[in-house]
């Protein structure tokens, strides 16, 4: 938005080659704000800006751009500028960019890094996708227990500038094993002559590099931290994860869950940036699977064709009944998927959930059955519309609704738990999948109940 206002002025200054004025004008904004301005500008102008800005500022701005803008900009920049930006980037943001690019591009970019940065980049990319290791930065401040607080502050003044966070400091022994974490504030508040070991309580929370990144969201929320240390299996400190990256992970996981709940494979990129073809692939696959499943409804219907021919009035209520089952299933499944994702419901609670949702199905089914019953019984045109046996039809419809809603609620609640038990992502039990499962059974339930209720009258 800002770019719309200031962007034209900047473009004008670039045309007039007023580079010094431009540098001065932008100096008053922070990197996040400048990144915001760049979003609305033409790629070639942004590339010019990157060449004239101080390299550290350019690298900072680059980190605030979206992954898509970063990728686009890399194409417009010369090899030297790309090398500068990549070498100055925080390693965790760089990993996010490198894993987004096609393999060949990643290799080309890594070759532009200095030997030190290359070693870091390759090590971070060596951790599994979606693991804590991929979100790590090795830019932290490590202390030794025998140092004095005064020495620590001096050390921070010397090495602190390039570190991602100084809010938390890490105490390690001579082998690099993590002993404790201390907050910078504790250093400030402590007597400069005291030792680091005096401040240590040896109680700390650490992540494991091979842990799933989703688990680290839970830990950050539980311990309210701005950074957590990451250790390997021997307890050696290998990096830290900062809260800004964890917020991104939390958002990404919620987005994935919502997309799966809508029966779309996770898009992994903003809606507007996904190519049409990729989008179709991610949607057509699930839609076709559900469609093939839905073909069972045609078979189920075929099975009852004779009954339908005798009592056409029955099919009038069919969509109402099966979609009520689907709706109640959607409700249950979206509640349970989110509760499982947040750790509110554990697998061992399955019987509590079952008990609760059976009750819910009974209550909700009862409400809908009553509504349908009243509608068919007391509608003044019921006899004209549905024939002389409309009261019996009302009974069959109400009983079917009760059965279908209980069935839908139970399946909707249990399927996410079953999927989790089998090692799948519970979010795959989408509303459409539940609806498909319930549709087939809904047809069977409705016509079976109708066959019993209407025997000797309509059927």
The interface with a second copy within residues 345-374 (CB under 8 A) comprises 345, 349, 352, 356, 359-360, 363-364, 367-368, 371-372
The residue (of 144 and 356) whose beta carbon lies closer to a second copy is 356
The residue (of 54 and 126) whose beta carbon lies closer to a second copy is 54
Number of shown-chain residues binding a second copy (CB under 8 A): 116
* x/- track of binding to a second copy for residues 67-106 (CB under 8 A): ----------------------------------------
Q: How far is the CB of 172 from a second copy (least distance, A)?
A: 19
Site for a second copy in 28-47 (CB under 8 A): 28-30, 32-33, 36
* Binding window for a second copy (CB under 8 A); candidates: 43-51, 122-130, 150-158, 230-238: 150-158
Taking CB under 8 A as the criterion, the residue among 103, 115, 146, 157 binding a second copy is 157
- Can you tell me which residue has the tokens 């900062």? 242
The residue (of 138 and 325) whose beta carbon lies closer to a second copy is 325
* Binding window for a second copy (CB under 8 A); candidates: 4-12, 51-59, 342-350, 448-456: 342-350
Counting Cα atoms < 13 Å in the Cβ hemisphere of 56 gives 4
H or E element: which one contains 295? helix 276-303
Does residue number 119 form part of the binding site for a second copy (CB under 8 A)? no
Q: Terminus-to-terminus CA distance in the chain, angstroms?
A: 67
The residue (of 128 and 291) whose beta carbon lies closer to a second copy is 291
Paired tokens of 89 = 């980037």
Taking CB under 8 A as the criterion, the residue among 112, 177, 206, 339 binding a second copy is 339
Continuous H helices in 304-349: 305-310, 313-316, 318-341
* CA–CA gap between residue 145 and residue 173 (Å, rounded): 7
Taking CB under 8 A as the criterion, the residue among 302, 383, 455, 457 binding a second copy is 302
Q: How far is the CB of 126 from a second copy (least distance, A)?
A: 25
With vertex at residue 115, the alpha carbon angle to CA 153 and CA 62, rounded to the nearest 5 degrees, is 70
DSSP 18-58: -HHHHHHHHHTS-HHHHHHHHHTS-HHHHHHHHHHS-HHHH
CB atoms within 10 A of CB 318: 20
Site for a second copy in 379-408 (CB under 8 A): 385
CB atoms within 10 A of CB 148: 16
Q: How far is the CB of 347 from a second copy (least distance, A)?
A: 13
Taking CB under 8 A as the criterion, the residue among 5, 119, 122, 188 binding a second copy is 188
The residue (of 17 and 24) whose beta carbon lies closer to a second copy is 24
> Are 7 and 40 spatial neighbours (Cβ–Cβ below 8 Å)?
yes
Counting Cα atoms < 13 Å in the Cβ hemisphere of 213 gives 24
By DSSP bridging, strand 168-172 and strand 178-183 are antiparallel
Taking CB under 8 A as the criterion, the residue among 39, 112, 153, 451 binding a second copy is 153
Does residue number 276 form part of the binding site for a second copy (CB under 8 A)? yes
The residue (of 105 and 290) whose beta carbon lies closer to a second copy is 290
Site for a second copy in 424-443 (CB under 8 A): 430-432, 435-436, 439, 443
Site for a second copy in 207-246 (CB under 8 A): 220-226, 243-244, 246
Q: How far is the CB of 283 from a second copy (least distance, A)?
A: 5
User: Three-state SS for 238?
Assistant: strand
By DSSP bridging, strand 142-143 and strand 168-172 are parallel
Residues 6+ apart with CB under 8 A from 177: 234, 235, 236, 237
Going by the DSSP 8-state scheme, the letter that residue 177 receives in this structure is B
- Can you tell me which residue has the tokens 């409309």? 390
Taking CB under 8 A as the criterion, the residue among 5, 42, 122, 284 binding a second copy is 284
């Amino acid at each position: 938005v800002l770019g719309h206002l200031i962007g034209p002025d900047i473009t004008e200054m670039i045309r007039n080659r007023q580079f010094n004025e431009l540098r001065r004008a932008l100096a008053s904004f922070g990197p996040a704000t400048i990144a915001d301005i760049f979003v609305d500008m033409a790629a070639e102008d942004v590339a010019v800006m990157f060449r004239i800005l101080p390299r550290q500022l350019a690298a900072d701005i680059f980190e605030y751009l979206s992954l898509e803008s970063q990728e686009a900009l890399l194409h417009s920049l010369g090899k030297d500028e790309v090398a500068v930006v990549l070498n100055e980037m925080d390693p965790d943001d760089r990993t996010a960019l490198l894993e987004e690019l096609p393999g060949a591009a990643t290799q080309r970019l890594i070759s532009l890094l200095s030997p030190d940065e290359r070693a870091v980049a390759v090590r971070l990319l060596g951790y599994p996708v979606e693991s804590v290791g991929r979100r790590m930065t090795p830019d932290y401040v490590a202390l030794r227990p025998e140092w004095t607080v005064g020495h620590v502050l001096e050390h921070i003044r010397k090495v602190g500038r390039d570190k991602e966070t100084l809010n938390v400091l890490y105490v390690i022994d001579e082998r690099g094993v993590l002993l404790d974490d201390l907050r910078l504030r504790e250093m400030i508040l402590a007597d400069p002559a005291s030792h680091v070991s005096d401040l240590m309580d040896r109680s700390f929370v650490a992540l494991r590099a091979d842990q799933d990144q989703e688990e680290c969201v839970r830990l950050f929320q539980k311990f309210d931290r701005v950074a957590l240390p990451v250790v390997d299996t021997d307890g050696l400190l290998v990096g830290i994860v900062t809260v800004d990256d964890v917020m991104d992970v939390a958002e990404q996981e919620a987005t994935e869950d919502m997309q799966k709940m809508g029966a779309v494979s996770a898009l992994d990129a903003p809606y507007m940036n996904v190519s049409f073809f990729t989008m179709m692939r991610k949607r057509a696959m699930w839609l076709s699977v559900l469609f093939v499943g839905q073909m069972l409804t045609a078979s189920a219907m075929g099975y009852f064709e004779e009954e339908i021919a005798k009592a056409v009035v029955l099919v009038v209520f069919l969509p109402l009944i099966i979609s009520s089952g689907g709706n109640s299933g959607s409700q249950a499944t979206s509640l349970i998927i989110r509760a499982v994702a947040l750790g509110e419901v554990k697998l061992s609670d399955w019987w509590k959930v079952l008990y609760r949702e059976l009750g819910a199905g009974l209550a909700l089914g009862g409400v809908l059955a009553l509504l349908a019953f009243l509608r068919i019984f007391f509608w003044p045109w019921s006899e004209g519309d549905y024939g002389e046996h409309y009261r019996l039809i009302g009974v069959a419809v109400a009983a079917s609704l009760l059965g279908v809603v209980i069935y839908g609620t139970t399946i909707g609640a249990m399927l996410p738990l079953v999927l989790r038990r089998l090692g799948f992502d519970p979010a795959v039990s989408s509303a459409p999948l539940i609806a498909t499962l319930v549709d087939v059974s809904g047809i069977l339930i409705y016509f079976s109940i109708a066959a019993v209720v209407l025997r000797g009258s309509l059927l």
